[in-house]
Chain A
Amino acid sequence: MRVVVDLNRCQGYAQCCYAAPDSFELRGHEILFYDPAPPDEARPRIERAQQACPVRAISIEPASLDREDAL
């Protein structure tokens, strides 16, 4: 799956790091390092991270995309 974080919005609250510790990591005081291509089985945790973000900085590709994107 594909993930991107708007790092203009991110303020380092680190809620994503608690919700999906395999995919999000805070370095130093407030540098967010994240996996933009986590395995599909991480989706429930990543969606929790998305919900938990106080500044709504996390975007995820919908699971249904492949099905609905066909021409």
Chain B
Amino acid sequence: MTGDPGIVIVGASLAGLRGAEALREGGYDGPLTLVGDEPYRPYDRPPLSKHVLAGELPPEATALPQQRPLRAHWRLGQPATALDRTRKAIRLGDGSEVPYTKLLIATGARARPWPGEGAHLAGVFTIRGRDDAAALRLALARPPKHVLVIGAGLIGCEAASCCRDLGVPVTLADPNPTPLARVLGTLVGGTIVECLRRADVAYRAGTKVRALMGEGGHVAGAHLHDGGLIETDCVIVALGAVRDTEWLAQGGLRADAGGLTCDAACRALTRAGDPDPDIGAAGDVARWPNPLYGGREMTVEHWGNAVEQAAHAARSLLRPDDPRPYRHLPAFWSSQFGINIKAVGLAEGADAVAIVQGDRAAQRYLAVYGRSGRSIAAVSFDQARWLPSYADRIAEGAAFPPILDATDQGRVEILAPGFPPARPGPAADERMREMAHV
């Protein structure tokens, strides 16, 4: 270890762990340090908004398997607070410095807090980390009289589903006509509306919460923009995530609230626009030009991307002489209301959707999204086995709709997907956040 500080990975969640494994698998034998702001070894997040809330799994059961020996130094419970590229060191929350030879940035994202009045009231929760899920689980076990979930994305819908499984009354509020409207469109979102109705969730479409108000320091209600009031003693804020990039502000890299910009090989770009060959990035925080989308810059806050991008970025650090572009077809899954939802591609911006397998009325079907005659995404409701065939067609940019001659297909319906109009402001980035994770 004389003199060589080795590779430092900042972020000890899924991408950090898989990046560390990939470095060892790629033959890296030098010193390896993992830095994490939470006191825990890497754990799996998807169960938090499902089985941990439901009380089926204790939060600590989510620890991830480490697939090979890492022989790593773990610096847990300390966030990185600054990057000094000139001196090749990062600073931690306790003031200590960690030097690096190479750096893999996998700091991810954190739950977007309630932006309005009442964020600090007791009984207001977000779901991102183990501690968040543990605290919310305690509150749900009490149980509350009436839960309000703000935001009908994946996490909001999964939380609402859990509440109903526990028998807790729940209202789900979202500005859009259906849940997942920006991710899947309102036509497919209508399937979730049907699930909500059957599960007795009060879905409040077109509803914006203005402020949370409390009594004796505990949340008691939500004031709506239209003047209405929802009485609640437990609020789950599910408004997506914001990237953890503040610590990079003085590092001379292209980092902002939308992520850390990288080249196609997942190496961080300096402000001048050149890749720093000693700094890679992966997972929720990494914004890179995805060759599968003509080099469009994107961040993908999903499990599968954390795994694949971490391996790719690790390779780019080990093989600076041979950088290769990271080509990725986004994918996610969710289970809610007894249905397994899986999706591939980016449906946003689609001009048509075709029900290519199954039956929408039976809530068991596969829908493919098209734009300008090309297949761009697919979603399955309890039809996962068909999805890989369509994923291949989407990855190769096949004509829309693809696969029209399967013997088990009925008449293929082509419909309008019903995406809400783009939001004002930095819309593209907002929409990417809406993709936010499972």
Contacts and interface: CB of A to CB of B under 8 A. Distances in A.
A30 B340 contact: yes
Contacts of A12: 340, 384-385
Interface in B314-335: 331-333, 335
A33 B331 contact: no
A68 interface: yes
Contact of B65 (A7, A29, A59, A70): A59
Contacts of A71: 71-73
A11 B331 CA distance: 14
Contact of A61 (B57, B67, B72): B67
B65 A61 contact: yes
Interface string A4-20: 10111011100000000
B71 A7 contact: no
A8 B333 CA distance: 6
B67 A36 contact: no
Contacts of B364: 29
Contacts of A60: 65
B62 A65 contact: no
Contacts of B385: 11-12
B65 A3 contact: yes
B340 A2 contact: no
Nearest to A67: B69
B302 to A, nearest CB: 8
A42 interface: no
Contact of B63 (A28, A36, A59, A68): A36
B234 to A, nearest CB: 25
Interface residues of B, number: 37
Interface string B283-313: 0000000000000000000011001000000
A60 B69 CA distance: 13
Interface in A25-55: 27-31, 33, 35-37
Contacts of A31: 335, 338-340
Nearest to A13: B385
Contacts of B342: 8
Per DSSP, are chain A's interface residues mostly helix, strand or loop, or mixed?
Answer: loop
Nearest to B73: A71
B51 interface: yes
A68 B72 CA distance: 11
B47 interface: yes
Contact of A28 (B47, B68, B382): B382
A6 B384 contact: no
Given A8-B303, A8-B331, A37 B56 contact: no
Contacts of B382: 28-30
B427 interface: no
Contacts of A27: 335, 338
Interface string B37-81: 000000010110001000011001111111111111100000000
A11 B65 CA distance: 21
A62 B24 CA distance: 15
Residue among A3, A36, A60 with the most chain B CB within 10 A?
A36
Contacts of B303: 6-8
A11 to B, nearest CB: 5
Nearest to B63: A2
Interface of B: 44, 46-47, 51, 56-57, 60-73, 303-304, 307, 331-333, 335, 338-340, 342, 364, 382, 384-385, 387-388
Interface of A: 1-4, 6-8, 10-12, 27-31, 33, 35-37, 59-62, 65, 68-71
24 contacts: A2-B63, A2-B66, A4-B65, A6-B304, A7-B46, A8-B333, A8-B342, A11-B385, A11-B387, A27-B338, A30-B384, A31-B338, A31-B340, A35-B57, A36-B61, A37-B57, A37-B60, A59-B67, A60-B65, A61-B66, A65-B68, A68-B69, A70-B71, A71-B71
- 4 cross-chain pairs, A with B, having the tightest CB-CB distances, nearest first: A61-B65, A2-B65, A68-B69, A37-B61
